[in-house]
Amino acid sequence: MTAKATVIDYDCGNLLSVRRALEHCGGEVEITGEPAKIKDAERLVLPGVGSFGNAMEELQKLGLVEQIREFAASGRPFLGICVGMQLMFDSSDEFGMHDGLGMIPGRVRTVPRHGVDGKPHKVPHIGWSKLSPAAASQTWDGTILDGLPTPAYCYFVHSFAAEPADEAHRLSDCHYDGQRLAATVRRDNLWGCQFHPEKSGETGLHILRNFLARD
Amino acid sequence: MSTLRMIARLDVKAPNLIKGVHLEGLRKLGDPSGFAQRYYADGIDEIVYIDAVASLYERNTIVDLVRHTAEDVFIPITAGGGVRSVEGAQILLRAGADKIAINTAATQNPELIRKLAERFGSQCVVLSIEAKRQKDHWEAYCDNGRERTGLDVIEWSRRGEKLGAGEILLTSVDREGTRGGYDIELTRAVADAVGIPVIASGGMGKFEHLSEVVNVGHADAVAMAHVLHFQKMTIPDIRRQALAHGLNVRPV
């Protein structure tokens, strides 16, 4: 059976890239902004390029906020990418304070402007960074990171990063000059990637295949 | 710093990849997407397409090229050349570009940088600066190094950052296509003046040029064209040398 994935079209994402990557992984992709279709999706993907506030505004305009929350509560697989992952949290302080979808407790804050050694570094954080387990005890078995090559590098481009309130919701981190940033988050059926799996070469495609295999 | 990014720069005059010297005297090299696919398979970190003839609103041009490339190249794609508005940027983003490079339109209307950043996020906006050395400073040029803007490169970089650019693609018009090495002084002056990443472009001819522009020039990323397009060096080879010299590139 082909794995179906519905990608939310809200004028804020690199939709074609996400579609191509999912299709490359064998997914059957529908791109839509219609509330009814989103409600009935098998799997839901919320991509995101752009600013948090603008993205939330677009979701509200399309009447999708409640639909997404209902979908999330249904137990079906959900994947947020980049700003799409950030939107899963309670709030963000990007360009003023904005409420998010509130699917995972926590907030979105600016990437620290310096490394842990206090030396200033470049923001946005752009580049391929290594994923590391968020806790020593953690295993990626049975998650969307299952079976990744080690070390696994993914492509990040962001000025803001999510800070889950509960450590248990962090699945992987990346380190930017020692600053720990949430790279992958998970709460039950809800997954989020700060990096772009659709832009992370074979490693990213592997993650998308894992997501498509979930039901 | 972040991991050093190795970027393949493809200047395009649809339907061909082109390569010149000092952004002029262009030679046609064939289908750009074929080159992009090969670089992807070889482990390049990003692709940059610059449309030399600003054909955004014409048919069968850079938009199709981006769309075609995004079908099976799963790394970041930057596209630019002729973007004059939020709508123009949207066309390229919808075709599969991840970032938009702007030059001429930004020099004429700097507010465009802010508009693009507010609409798509700073990480999406690459300020492309074509720098030409003058007596005691560098001046920003536009229209592929043909037109002067009167803007001082350092001041323009800082202003671009303030307006919301997320990255600077810094091309040395003097070095472009010469294979004589990046303009180290220029790169360092800009990289140290701004808090956003700077991509050094123009002059890559051998590995030492790359390590110098990173170690001395403080570049956050390096764009390569000639050495790749004419197969003077391979990406795995450059990556191996970079790792051996302690440069922080991703192992592939």
Inter-chain touch B121–A83, beta carbons under 8 Å: yes
Q: List pLDDT tens digits, range A59-117.
A: 999 999 999 999 999 999 999 999 999 999 999 987 778 999 999 999 999 999 999 99
Q: Is A114 on the interface with B (CB under 8 A)?
A: no
Q: Looking at the annotation, which residues of A are catalytic?
A: 82, 196, 198
Comparison of pLDDT for B197 and A50, the residue scoring more: B197
Q: A147: helix, coil or strand?
A: coil
Q: How far is CA A161 from the centre of its chain?
A: 11
Q: Which two tokens stand for residue A58?
A: 């677009």
Q: What would the mean pLDDT of B119-125 be, rounded to a whole number?
A: 87
Token code pair at residue A37: 């279709």
Is the residue at B120 inside a domain? yes
* Per-residue pLDDT, A9: 93
Contact A82, A194 (CB under 8 A): yes
pLDDT tens-place string over residues A163-190? 999 999 999 999 999 999 999 999 999 9
Query: Do residue B76 and residue A196 have CB atoms under 8 angstroms apart?
Result: yes
Convert the pLDDT of each residue in B10-24 to its tens digit: 999 888 999 878 777
- A144 to A147, A209, B45: CA distances (angstroms): 9, 8, 23
B130 touches chain A (CB under 8 A): no
Residue with tokens 């960074």: A129
Dig out the tokens for B219 from the structure: 């570049």
CB contact under 8 A, B96 and A24: no
| Residue in B3, B123, B124 closest to A129 by CB | B3
> Where do the structural domains in chain A lie, given as residue ranges?
3-212
Nearest CA in chain A to B95: A16
Percent of residues, chain B, with pLDDT higher than 90:
81
pLDDT tens-place string over residues B155-205? 999 999 999 999 999 999 999 989 999 999 999 999 999 999 999 999 999
**pLDDT tens figures, B220-237:** 999 999 999 999 999 999
Residue B179 Cα distances to B11, B43, B201, B202, angstroms: 16, 22, 11, 8
- The whole-number pLDDT of residue B60 equals 57
Better pLDDT: B94 or B171? B171
DSSP for B113-139, written as a single string = HHHHHHHH-GGGEEEEEEEEE-SSSEE
Q: How far is residue B206 from each of residues A190, B211, B229, B234, measured CA to CA in Å?
A: 47, 9, 14, 11
- Tally C-beta pairs within 8 A across A and B: 117
Give the distance, in angstroms, between the CA of residue A25 and the centroid of all CA atoms in the same chain.
18
B74/A199 Cβ within 8 A: yes
Would you say residue B249 lies in a domain? no
Residue B97 structure tokens: 């570009």
B45-91 residue pLDDT tens: 999 999 988 766 665 588 999 999 999 999 999 999 989 999 999 88
**B2 vs A106, residue with greater confidence:** A106
What's the pLDDT band for A13 if we cut at 50, 70, 90? Answer: low
Q: Using a pLDDT cut of 70, give the percent of chain B over it.
A: 98
Average pLDDT over residues B124-138: 96
Minimum Cα–Cα distance from A199: chain B residue: B75
Q: Determine the pLDDT at residue A51.
A: 79
Residue A74, min C-alpha distance to chain B (Å): 30
Q: How much of chain A, in percent, has pLDDT values that exceed 90?
A: 82
Distance of CA B25 to the CA centre of its chain: 19
Report the residue from B96, B197, B221 with minimal CB separation from A14.
Answer: B96
Among positive and negative, which fits the CA dihedral A161, A166, A171, A173? positive
Give the distance from residue B135's alpha carbon to the nearest chain A alpha carbon, in angstroms: 30
B106 domain-assigned = yes
CATH number of the domain to which B239 belongs: 3.20.20.70
The answer, yes or no, to whether residue A197 has pLDDT greater than 60, is yes
Which tokens in the block code for residue B193?
Answer: 């003046």
**pLDDT at site B20:** 79
**Predicted local confidence at residue A39, as pLDDT:** 93
Strand B221-224, strand B5-13: pairing: parallel
Q: Please indicate, yes or no, if residue B80 is contained in any of the structural domains.
A: yes
Q: What is the pLDDT of residue A95?
A: 73
Domain with B177 in it: 5-244
* The pLDDT of residue A136: 83
Is B155 labeled as catalytic in the residue annotation? no
Q: Which two tokens stand for residue B237?
A: 């080879």
User: Is residue B82 helix, strand or coil?
Assistant: coil
Q: Do the chains contact at A120 and B95, CB–CB below 8 Å?
A: no
Of A49, A130, A196, the CB nearest to B93: A49
Angle of the B111-120 helix axis to the B86-95 helix axis, nearest 10: 40
Give A16's contacts in chain B (Cβ within 8 Å).
67, 70, 94-96
Grade residue A6 by pLDDT with cuts at 50, 70 and 90.
Answer: very high
Residue A27 has pLDDT above 90, yes or no: yes
Beta carbons of A126 and B95 less than 8 Å apart: no
pLDDT confidence of B244, banded at 50, 70, 90?
Answer: very high
* CATH, range A3-212: 3.40.50.880
Query: Looking at the partner chain, which of B119, B124, B197 has a beta carbon nearest the beta carbon of A122?
Result: B197
Preferred mutation among A54, A117, A128 to probe B, highest tally of B CBs within 10 A = A128
Say which residues have a Cβ less than 8 Å from residue A186's Cβ, sequence separation at least 6. A143, A144, A169, A171, A192
A126–B197 C-beta distance less than 8 A: yes
Amino acid at the residue B134: Q
Q: Is the ipTM of this complex over 0.85?
A: yes
- Peptide bond just before B32 cis, omega within 30 deg: no
CB atoms within 10 A of CB B173: 23
Q: How many domains does chain B have?
A: 1
Name the residue among A20, A83, A202 with its Cβ closest to that of B71: A20
Chain A residues lying within 8 Å of B39, measured CB to CB? none
